[in-house]
Every structure is written in structure tokens, then in C-alpha cells.
Amino acid sequence: MKQKRVDWAAYIFLVPAGIIYVSVIIVPIFYSAFISLNRWNGISAMEFVGLRNYINLFTADPVFRIALTNNIKWLLLTVTITTTMALTLAVILNKQFRGRAFFRGFFYFPTVISAIAVAIIWRWIYNPQIGFLNQFFRFLGINYAQSWLSDPKFSLYAVYAATLWATVGQPMILFLAGLQTVPKEVLEAAIIDGASAPRRFFLITCVLMKETFVIVLANLVVGAMRVFDSIWGLTGGGPINATQMLSTYMYSQTFRFSNVGMGTAIAVLMVLMMMIVIVPYVLFTARER
């Protein structure tokens, strides 16, 4: 039996990319994991403490538990509300009507605005005295004025609403691209067979858009776990840690309190949480059936 000839030249061409990947991705990951096992302020010598940083986070750090709870809430809001709204907009904008191109650009436009600019815009919208939202309620005769960003009951959801406005356009475009790949012949055959519109959408369109859902949900989960800009720009994690996230708490521990070991431990936990959620989902939904 003739052996296949190995093309070593192909592997040689992969060496530069492999070196960059190892040096930029693999080495920093393992070095960060090593730092998380130490007590270190970023200047003096490291003091090895093993898993003490992780144990302290879960047993002796109430702010970390708040941040973890907020991240889970944010993740659930993103997966449910953001996905539903993006898919709904994509379905509407996939239909033929006058001005369709304008509305596609209109809903996508906020995604190109920088996160800090979005935070400034929504700070004014949420302003308790002259903000648009409270003034709008007064105009309607509704006595529902709130200090949206300074009230712990509303602040997290107020920040999420601002982020939803700024980010829903990206998954909308991905869903729109996925909808346009669904063969019209399949849908026409389902109509002839008497399938209702909801059945056609859930049993045919959504199934044929499996890869699109994988990409959208993976991006949304990663974005929800590492959300930082909108939180930092609008509330800075306050009031009284009501909008604290793992990313903002990691930043505070690392750069404000010079607790690099603890901050890196939070970063490692964030990576593990994203892998636990994303990897099984991708393997389950993207496998060949």
C-alpha cells in the first residue's frame, strides 16, 4: 500500500501564524492562570497562595457575589430579549416594503457609535431633572419620574436598555443575512402542504438558520460576560455596587486597588464561565446530523 506523501511545506507556512497564536493567546492564558494563584500588587514580588484568591472570592467577598449575580441576570436578558428583538427586526426588515434599506441602516447605526458616546447620550436621557425619559412621562401626564441610574432597583435594567439600543443592530444584521439564505422553494413547498406561518418559521426557517443562531448566541454570550464600557460609562459599577459586573470588578481589583492576583482570578473565572456556556452549545448545535 502506497503511503501518502506529507507536504511539510504547508506546515512550514503555518509556523508564523502558530508562533503569533501561541505568544498572543496561549502563553498569556497560562501566565494569567499562574498570576491568579499569587498575591501580587503588580510591583513587589509575588507571594504564592494557591487557590486562596478563588476561595476568598466565593466565601469572603460579597461584591464578587453581586457582580456574578448581575452577570447572570445580564446574560439571561441578553439571550432572551436581545435575541428576540434582533430576530423580530430581521424578520420585519426581510420583507419587501418601501424604505426597507433606510430602516436597516436606522437600526444598525447605533452599533457604530462608540460605547462612551452612547453612555453620554443615555446619561442625558436618564437625567432625573431634564432627561428625555422623565420629561416624556410628564408630557403624558404620568407621575413616574425616577432617578434611573442612581436607584439600585432600576440602575441595572436602565443600563441594559441603553446597551440594547446600541447593540441590537449587530445580531439583527446577522439574522437578516441568515434569513436571506433560506431557500424560497422550501417555504413555498411548505405553504402548498398547508403549513401555517408559525410552523414554517419555527420548524423550517429557524432550523435552516442553525449556523446563524450559533454565531449570534455565541457572540451575545461572550459580549454579556465581558460587558464593561456601558457599565463603566453610565454608572461605574454603582450605586452601591448595584451594577457591578465581573469585568468592572476585575478592573477595580487590578488597577484601582492594585490587587492583581485577585483581579486575574476573576478574569480566569470569566473565561471558564464563557467556555462552560459556549463550548457545549456550539458542539450540540453545530454538529452534523
Cβ atoms of 175 and 259 within 8 Å: the answer is no
Residue 134's CB is within 10 A of a number of other CB atoms, namely 20
Which range of residues forms the domain containing residue 271? 62-285
Smallest Cα–Cα separation from 85: which of 180, 175, 148?
175
What was the pLDDT predicted at 263? 94
Give domain status of residue 114, yes or no: yes
Give domain status of residue 40, yes or no: no
What was the pLDDT predicted at 286? 60
pTM for the predicted model, two decimal places: 0.88
Overall residue count recorded for the chain in this entry: 289
Cβ atoms of 227 and 78 within 8 Å: the answer is no
Give domain status of residue 33, yes or no: no
Q: Cell numbers 492583581 label which residue?
A: 260
Domain containing 127 — which CATH number?
1.10.3720.10
Show the low-confidence residues of the chain (pLDDT under 70).
1-4, 6, 282, 284-289
Give domain status of residue 142, yes or no: yes
What was the pLDDT predicted at 134? 87
Q: Please tell me the total count of domains within the chain.
A: 1
Long-range pairs, 116-121, Cβ under 8 A, ≥24: 116/229, 116/233, 118/162, 118/163, 118/165, 118/166, 118/230, 118/233, 119/162, 119/229, 119/230, 119/232, 119/233, 119/234, 120/233
Residue 206 CA to residue 220 CA, distance in Å, equals 18
Exposed / middle / buried, residue 79 (Cβ in 10 Å: 0-12, 13-18, 19+):
middle
Give domain status of residue 28, yes or no: no
Give domain status of residue 148, yes or no: yes
Give domain status of residue 199, yes or no: yes
Give domain status of residue 222, yes or no: yes
What was the pLDDT predicted at 285? 64
What was the pLDDT predicted at 182? 87
